[in-house]
Amino acid sequence: MTLEILTSDNLSPIRHGFFTRRGGASSGVFSGLNCGQGSSDQANIVTINRSRVAEAMGVDLDALVTVNQVHSATVAIVDAPLETRPTADALVTDRPGLALSILTADCQPVLFADHTARVIGAAHAGWRGALAGILESTLDAMESLGADRGRIRAAIGPTISQTAYEVDWEFMDTFVAEDPANARFFAGGNGDKTQFDLPAYGLHRLRQAGIGVAEWTRHCTYSDAARFYSYRRSCHLNEADYGRLISVIRL
């Protein structure tokens, strides 16, 4: 099956893609393009999947760089292929030929580009990372390489939508304690639950930070099992593990 790669007009013509699960070699609960090296999928199959992504992006596999994601606000500035994955939740570079990649399965994959300065970034922004400031940290790191946040364009790829993201009131309190205005990102829900709008919160943080342009592709990972992996959906189905989607950008 052919790989399916979602793109954003805001980032073009810089080469990038939010890869769906289609076109991979994995089977079972991982069926498709599982690129999660930390999953319990067969390591050699994950390598095959990652090799297909690298080929689609026009780079060797060792130039498809990523990080050990921990829901932090830490950014790795990359200038060469990495022998080991640094612990961080975003990468930035100004070096042609390096493909920055992050993995998600409901969290926000965010790709960044300053077309004028030729600086790019990729961030993994779940609720913890977004609240901690990973998006702002990515903009700061890009500016350290010569980018201007007023020129930077960003696209949030497939992530869990508000209608699928039910949380408890204690979760909401964490956001309201940080800023009472954050209450607007919560609505609906049943009983002692409410629903959180993660992509709207991500867009808000980016725009508040002064980014030039930001958008969400409006794909929900939870509601489209044929195209996307979802941690929350796998939990609801009592599955033993789940696949990870990959999002990539390169100069």
The model's pLDDT over 199-248, given as tens digits with 9 standing for 90+, comes to 999 999 999 999 999 999 999 999 999 999 999 999 999 999 999 999 99
**Average pLDDT score, the chain:** 97
Residue-wise pLDDT for 93-152, tens only, equals 999 999 999 999 999 999 999 999 999 999 999 999 999 999 999 999 999 999 999 999
User: Which of 46, 70, 64 has its CA nearest to residue 249?
Assistant: 64
CB-based contacts of 235, cutoff 8 Å, min separation 6: none
| pLDDT value for 1 | 67
The fold for domain 5-160+213-250 equals CNF1/YfiH-like putative cysteine hydrolases (3.60.140)
**Domain spans of the chain, in order of start:** 5-160+213-250
* pTM for the full predicted model: 0.97
Residue-wise pLDDT for 17-37, tens only, equals 999 999 999 999 999 999 999
CB-based contacts of 56, cutoff 8 Å, min separation 6: 3, 5, 17, 19
